[in-house]
Chains A and B, each alone.
Chain A
């Protein structure tokens, strides 16, 4: 019995190590090259300010309502692209949250702009 258990454990370890370890993440596919062409459709522009505040198409929107607002905009078929324009001083977490919300709203195309102001 013991040699069998030895072999089984070895096989178990072998397969667990060779298979890639799984983790969680958000896919972010950006347009190729640094000089991306203007999108044809009107994009949803989400701005993150110095103070981590969020604006959508120039209106302040709290994070809790952002999902609803993006769904509303994306639902009418006008815009499928979200441009996230974040201030240099904003926190990465806020950017991740905005991206998360937009992904929940079904958005697949993103542009990321770093704002120097």
Chain B
């Protein structure tokens, strides 16, 4: 039989290791979630009231206010976008193309992206918005 040391259990001792574990986990958690949501600070999305909840399993095209286009975080011009979109769409048939464009982008850029995507076989588009 093991004899418990009454003296030790009575004296106050704080075990730091589990607390550090938990704090680190929280730290990692917040680091990952914050970078996931606030990915593009430079982009102000248009405001819409009729928007629905979307999940983020789409092909994402990001358009910055100065007209730069990114597909999966890679900078593209319109021509390479068309080629890459076609590849992506062929890989997974039913995916939508999500367009995260700044509200001040000229319509020309958005229209051209839509045209390229349509030629590449894209039918479903999602325009990412924010509620006011």
Contacts and interface: CB of A to CB of B under 8 A. Distances in A.
Q: Which of under 10, 10 to 19, 20 to 34, or 35 or more describes the interface residues of A?
A: 35 or more
Main secondary structure of the interface of A (DSSP, over half): mixed
Nearest to B28: A13
A96 to B, nearest CB: 4
B46 to A, nearest CB: 4
A40 interface: no
A24 B127 CA distance: 9
Given A5-B22, A22-B53, A112 B37 contact: no
B11 interface: no
Interface in A87-101: 87-97, 99-101
Nearest to B127: A26
Contacts of B29: 9, 12-13, 16
B111 A96 contact: no
B71 interface: no
Interface in A1-44: 1-3, 5-6, 9-10, 12-13, 16-17, 20-34
A88 B129 contact: no
A30 B123 contact: yes
Interface of A: 1-3, 5-6, 9-10, 12-13, 16-17, 20-34, 48, 86-97, 99-101, 103-104, 112, 114
